[in-house]
Structure 1
């Protein structure tokens, strides 16, 4: 098949495709297709060819949507980069993903230049200097739309994966189509549906919305950033069928002054949806669909419909259509219902592997598919429950934080001898990053100095919000850090402040 948008534009040219909420712009599928053809021609003039990896560094906006579809038209691979990352992290991801071009906007131009190295940089806005070219000023080259096969790589999405190191996940054309199909079977699709996009498109939950809308022939209503009251307004004003959120966003929407409009679904993922939040949705008659997913599964692995979620606190429902979840013990043997173990997943939505990472792939895949690193169980009715992550990864506001990375960055401070990084429960963010820091002997270590140090090395969501300075780290008899004791100590220090 041709790229997703071209196929949809032939079938539904006059159907609204994209609404830029708050800016008064709307595109039909025919109009969006024409805009994407122009963008693809300009990218081709810059030398982008089939199979090339092109980075996009910006928050959610229509230009991001056009770029995603334009790269499909050329047969190139989209590499969304998190616009909240520190420059050092962006440099690593640029090198790791073998980019031939990096596309930014006015807000990310400085970070793009800092991270780009030898990679050319273009902006979708007016450039701030001569080092960056303007995409709109490029001449258009002729574009021969490519044919896509199910196994062709459509995107590389960075994730911490199951080992903590950021790795680019290969997502194929077939993965995306299968994920959209499975989601439709769970949430339902009607011809006039509108799906509110208020997530960042550099996450799978955000990127999936315009891709799925194009496959379904429905409308994507795009918001530039998230505000709870504004999201509720947009849901009502555009008569949206649903929205994708993370738990922190949903909690804010429930606390907002506006009433929650009548929608068919609120897909909540990116982090565990607390039982108390599901109960609050039931009281407010909000049709929450708690979802368990990961980038390696092209988003959803299991999703609970509202009645199931309300009647079974803590469940994420059953696996979506085509996905198999096996709960295994340490020997990779399946365990019966009710017993806990690691969740392994297989099916047409699962990535074929990480890009250029044979060792990571060997570790990540086993006899029952992808090892998620998550521990959970299945009840007698087949419903899944996710209990915790084997790696103690922290999920704050829907963002994955690897404690080891934060610890490594902290140890680079000359006044730090050692550190333990843990997650603490947080009513707003689900979890917050906390650090137990041991200063070097006779060193003068202030929290302001640590904050300045982290600002240069870590994204905002990765920086510890709770810090306790101690003489030594709690350790187990074997000498490893006692994470439970560390969490208790830093939590106690937080309460004493």
Structure 2
């Protein structure tokens, strides 16, 4: 094959295991041969709309086989895939379509009205609706097409464009916790090497069954779960929306072995009335990211014989950087682990020298999975690297054995009386209290110290947790200057679609003295 990128994966897998199940969705199973055929036909269909090498093809919709078919079809043509966050507002979607210069957009029926409302604001030439051209302002409109029609009209002859590992595969927009999101440019090689790291460090099996309820537009759900499983030849059970009871049903029905989620998802599953009696014997890999895993949650799954595998990553690294294997989940609890097999990680000081064990510095990473830069932002791209190392902006310390502990975002550091306080360290200590479900620590102005910590806490329903109780949990565990000077309670913490805590609205709502 001339195509060495992701667009060739369905064909390569179909010639090895054509009759193995690849995707399961809404009661329907697609074999690898069927996936290959659908991707080929879609690629021809997109080509008939004028999509060519380097053009951007975006997708807006819930988890569905068409998401992956569009990704692979774009790759087959040498085009660039742009996954869009379904939880964004119309102006945010319009910004990303315009910023990326998307020429074709595939979208689900739930987003038809949004798409109709932004047509005049974006450069998109062709709109492909999963339920046909539609009636939401799209029927008869110029550039409107039906997904099923493209498949039916597409040819079956192989599409074998020459695509190299260095060619751009995907523009994945960063979470945008501050300011405008930036489009991380991920090559076919970046994503392939990340998948290889997962295959090695997770010990994936050919008969792996992955439950994909985390959104595919998120780098972890796509690149740490779905694509590595498909590369290995396993099957992915795609779920359009997460539901705790349905999750337990799907685990039993499909004998799910591999799951990824953010802590809030796993918490909901553990609170389900069906939790105690559910058959979880097929589960082998539980990976969690996006936020710290509360100790109470680790204990709840531990009682069922299940261990969380935690790691650390970022969109710019496709995303895997560090991984803590099951063998060290207890002895190195709280650590993000060591670097993936094909990854190099350092923790450096302001002079870019490695910090000694136990001291805090910035995480920098280098490897074949690290992106090439930000779309349309050459200055920001250059500033993101020093001597070939990507600067994460995250603070960490490394122990004597080389295990890294992520401390916090450097920009979130609180400076109190000249002392540096990393909120994540304080949050981890507070989360050991059994009545604390979630916690975030922010800095608030203080006349004496300049800035002090404030804990924003979500209490366990039905508990009688008080501010004094929260502070008592960390007394003696942290240096006095690190202990928050105040505690406020809230019903929920603001998070983005990737599960990352949004501290800007927290500071707005709770950051006044």
TM-score (norm 2): 0.75
CA offsets per residue over residues 45-81 of structure 1, 9 Å max, x none? Answer: 1111111111111111112121111112211111001
Contact 1:423 1:487 in 2 (8 A): no
1:252 aligns with 2:239: no
Per the alignment, do residues 297 and 362 of structure 1 end up closer, same or farther by CA in structure 2, a change over 3 Å counting? same
1:261 aligns with 2:266: no
Alignment of 1:47-196 (within 5 A): 47-116=50-119, 117=121, 118-120=123-125, 121-126=127-132, 127-128=134-135, 129=137, 130=139, 131=141, 132-138=144-150, 139-140=153-154, 144-160=159-175, 164-196=179-211
Contact 1:196 1:223 in 2 (8 A): yes
Match of 2:244 among 224, 228, 253: 228
- Counterpart of 2:487 in structure 1 is none
Alignment of 1:94-493 (within 5 A): 94-116=97-119, 117=121, 118-120=123-125, 121-126=127-132, 127-128=134-135, 129=137, 130=139, 131=141, 132-138=144-150, 139-140=153-154, 144-160=159-175, 164-208=179-223, 209-256=225-272, 257-258=274-275, 259=278, 261-262=280-281, 263-367=283-387, 369-392=389-412, 424-426=456-458, 487=510, 489=512
Contact 1:55 1:103 in 2 (8 A): yes
Q: Secondary structure at the match of 2:350?
A: coil
Aligned counterparts of 2:233 and 2:345: Cα–Cα separation in 1: 30
Per the alignment, do residues 339 and 206 of structure 1 end up closer, same or farther by CA in structure 2, a change over 3 Å counting? same
1:382 offset after TM fit, Å? 1.1
* Count of paired positions: 420
Contact 2:362 2:394 in 1 (8 A): yes
More deviation, 191-200/160-169: 160-169
- Counterpart of 1:472 in structure 2 is none
Per the alignment, do residues 252 and 461 of structure 1 end up closer, same or farther by CA in structure 2, a change over 3 Å counting? closer
C-alpha RMSD of the superposition: 3.1
1:311 offset after TM fit, Å? 2.2
Contact 1:57 1:112 in 2 (8 A): no
Runs of 4+ in 1 over 6 A off after TM superposition: 458-468
More deviation, 266-275/87-96: 266-275
CA offsets per residue over residues 316-369 of structure 1, 9 Å max, x none? Answer: 111111111111112222101111011111111111111121111122111361
Contact 2:52 2:79 in 1 (8 A): yes
Aligned counterparts of 1:467 and 1:363: Cα–Cα separation in 2: 27
Per the alignment, do residues 79 and 464 of structure 1 end up closer, same or farther by CA in structure 2, a change over 3 Å counting? closer
Q: Secondary structure at the match of 2:291?
A: coil
Unaligned 5+ segments in structure 1 are: 396-402, 404-421, 429-457, 469-482, 491-497
Match of 2:35 among 32, 36, 44: 32
1:195 offset after TM fit, Å? 1.1
CA offsets per residue over residues 251-276 of structure 1, 9 Å max, x none? Answer: 22222232361211101112333344
Per the alignment, do residues 14 and 467 of structure 1 end up closer, same or farther by CA in structure 2, a change over 3 Å counting? closer
Per the alignment, do residues 425 and 157 of structure 1 end up closer, same or farther by CA in structure 2, a change over 3 Å counting? farther
TM-score (norm 1): 0.78
Per the alignment, do residues 464 and 168 of structure 1 end up closer, same or farther by CA in structure 2, a change over 3 Å counting? closer
Aligned counterparts of 2:73 and 2:108: Cα–Cα separation in 1: 16
Unaligned 5+ segments in structure 2 are: 414-422, 425-441, 443-453, 461-495
CA offsets per residue over residues 255-308 of structure 1, 9 Å max, x none? Answer: 223236121110111233334433433333212101211111112211112341
Aligned counterparts of 1:158 and 1:8: Cα–Cα separation in 2: 28
Aligned counterparts of 2:29 and 2:389: Cα–Cα separation in 1: 42
Contact 2:129 2:146 in 1 (8 A): yes
1:189 offset after TM fit, Å? 1.9
1:464 offset after TM fit, Å? 8.9
Aligned counterparts of 1:210 and 1:12: Cα–Cα separation in 2: 17
Contact 2:204 2:229 in 1 (8 A): no
